[in-house]
Amino acid sequence: MKILVCISHVPDTTSKINFADNDTKFDTNGVQFVINPNDEFGLTRAMWFKEKQGANVTVVNVGGPETEPTLRKALAIGADAAIRVNTDAKDGFQVAKELANIVNEGGYDLVIAGRESIDYNGGMVPGMIAALTNANFVTNCISLEVDGINATAMREIDGGKETVSTSLPLVIGGQKGLVEESDLRIPNMRGIMMARQKPLSVVEPTNASTETSTVKFEKPAPKGAVTLVDADNVDELINLLHNEAKAI
Amino acid sequence: MSVLVYTESEQGKFKKTAFEAASYAKAVANQMGTTVTAVAINANDTSELGTYGVDKVLNITNGDLKAFNANAYASSIEQAAKQENATVVIVSSSADSKYLAPILAIGLNAGFASNVVEAPSNTSPFTVKRTAFTNKAFNMTTIDTAVKVVGVSKNAFGLVESNGSATTEEFSPSIPASGVKVESVDRATDKVTIADAEIVVSAGRGLKGPENWGMIEELADVLGAATACSKPVSDLGWRPHSEHVGQTGKPVASNLYIAIGISGAIQHLAGINASKVKVVINTDPEAPFFKAADYGIVGDAFEVVPTLIEKLKAFKAQNA
């Protein structure tokens, strides 16, 4: 089975978010970048397929040279090869189109992407890849089994979960649950050394068009101070929630 | 030229998100000087949509669409959009709508903006405000294509009633074969879900153990709320992963979020920022959550919560 894991290079979850150039660009100063958490669950599940069922795992990212450490980390975790599409990620459609091109050329059976990236939260790339490559698609995927060309997946729905059967080629939008958090892997020294020998190919983009553009960013308005209520005066909290906040 | 909205229903009944999406569609249609057409799939009574600004309903009744299927639903909405010559297509932010929207966008050659929180600031260029960086910022985005797909965030735009009425036409799209088949659905029917809840009661490690969740559930019961938890709690297995709220868990956009014994890690706060009113109960006055909350009690959850339950019961009885 040939698996492609799409990796977003995103600010670490604890990063302070700031903007530059008149609030038109994300300010990367002092920001640590990591593998998108939703992609990390998918990468770990891909490692499971590789080890238990035999699979070749390639990771891919659309981005400039600055994203290579993130791809190297994925290689250190155990991916066999990495591809970087050499262009800045501009919008979901452009990224999906570049990735669909990689999928079509590489003939992957299974494409694992995160349900969304934690930076732009668009949640559109996996579905668009599936639509562009005519593959089956399951998102919010919290479990995945593959038996030959048949797959069984579970996905989270509002208020529960749903089990679906489908077949390869398949694209999934994965998330926590695909593997347990405790199963996520930290690259060890051997993995880091081996990653240096693994192929990281840089391919030129097809210059896919964009469909959306960022005009500017805004931060939420500063919040007023908390209104503290004495622990012995719970009635006051109820009063505030009812009369002031109109929340109950 | 028209605005099309997908109004989702469950077991024949429209969801609140359908009315929110319709309200948003009406606002867009007003800005563009056009009408709103809704697509309803296997809904029992479509007349209610008129109350939220829908002028015409394309009503699809089809047994093959009984279970949600992203491809089939996206294809049906795409066919409706083409028939109506729709330039803007609105969907909600439910799990199902987020599933079908990218497929629909590709089908329509449409740019797609998700998590949109306000009516467009401009319709030419079509500019919307959407959340980014897991609610730590907003992104003003233009959709540059002729046809646009907009996903509206839950609880962001709200319900706006208007005094119109909707006409209904039967619509029979061709349903494509699907490669994804629903085998079973496991839905918690007796509880309010985090996605639908107006109020969420959430607890963290301050509760000391899963055996202490009885009072959290009781508080949720009194308020008609859903229960949720912080990441460490789900990692410890005290509560199911589906209750984990935060950056890698479920985002919450409720009207009221009550956090009990949760210190307020940045990842947790990112997941609840979209909630309107936040209350924190914590013994530690330095807990970061107090900076993010609107109301707070510095106190022991084991003393405050039982009192709160009693007082709320009395309040509810008085205000019933």
Write the CATH number for B127: 3.40.50.620
What is the pLDDT averaged over residues B195-213?
A: 94
User: In the block, which residue shows the tokens 């981005």?
Assistant: A63
Q: State pLDDT tens for residues B227-246.
A: 999 999 999 999 988 899 99
pLDDT score of A94? 98
Same domain flag for B149 and B203: no
> Given a cut of 80, is residue B209 above it in pLDDT?
yes
Residue of A nearest to B152 (CA): A122
Same domain flag for B108 and B240: no
A19 to chain B, any CB pair closer than 8 A? The answer is: yes
Residue B184 lies in a domain: no
Q: Hey, are the CB atoms on A93 and B186 less than 8 Å from each other?
A: no
A194 Cβ contact partners less than 8 Å away, ≥ 6 residues apart:
A75, A76
Distance of CA A174 to the CA centre of its chain: 8
pLDDT score of B241? 86
Q: Binning pLDDT at 50, 70 and 90, where does residue B217 land?
A: very high
Domain boundary among B151, B170, B189: B170
Domain boundary among B153, B170, B187: B170
Same domain flag for B76 and B140: yes
Q: Which of B13, B76, B88 is nearest to B39 (CA)?
A: B76
Quote the domain boundaries for residue B292. 199-318
Same domain flag for B161 and B224: no
Q: Hey, are the CB atoms on B143 and A211 less than 8 Å from each other?
A: yes
Same domain flag for B207 and B147: no
What is the pLDDT averaged over residues A179-206?
A: 94
Percent of chain A with pLDDT over 90: 94
Write the CATH number for B306: 3.40.50.1220
Q: Which of B18, B23, B19, B20 is nearest to B8 (CA)?
A: B18
> Given a cut of 80, is residue B188 above it in pLDDT?
no
Q: Binning pLDDT at 50, 70 and 90, where does residue B86 land?
A: very high
Q: Hey, are the CB atoms on B196 and A152 less than 8 Å from each other?
A: no
Same domain flag for B216 and B138: no
B120-158 exposure pattern, b = at least 16 Cβ within 10 A, e = fewer: beebeebbbbbbbbbbbbbbbbbbebebbbbbbbbbbbe
Say whether the peptide bond before residue B125 is cis (omega within 30 degrees of 0).
yes
Residue of A nearest to B107 (CA): A131
- Sign (positive or negative) of CA dihedral B35, B38, B44, B50: negative
Residue B194 lies in a domain: no
Chain A hits for B95, CB-CB cut-off 8 Å, are: 140, 156-158
Q: Binning pLDDT at 50, 70 and 90, where does residue B193 land?
A: confident
How many structural domains is chain B composed of? 2
Residue B43 lies in a domain: yes
pLDDT score of B195? 81
Residue B289 lies in a domain: yes
B18 Cβ contact partners less than 8 Å away, ≥ 6 residues apart:
B7, B8, B9, B49, B92
Q: Binning pLDDT at 50, 70 and 90, where does residue A180 land?
A: confident
Same domain flag for B24 and B163: yes
pLDDT score of A222? 86
Interface test with B, best of A90, A94, A210, A212 (most B CBs within 10 A): A212
Same domain flag for B38 and B164: yes
What is the pLDDT averaged over residues A128-152?
A: 97
Q: State pLDDT tens for residues A49-99.
A: 999 999 999 999 999 999 999 999 999 999 999 999 999 999 999 999 999
pLDDT score of A6? 98
Same domain flag for B156 and B304: no
Same domain flag for B165 and B204: no
What is the pLDDT averaged over residues A176-185?
A: 90
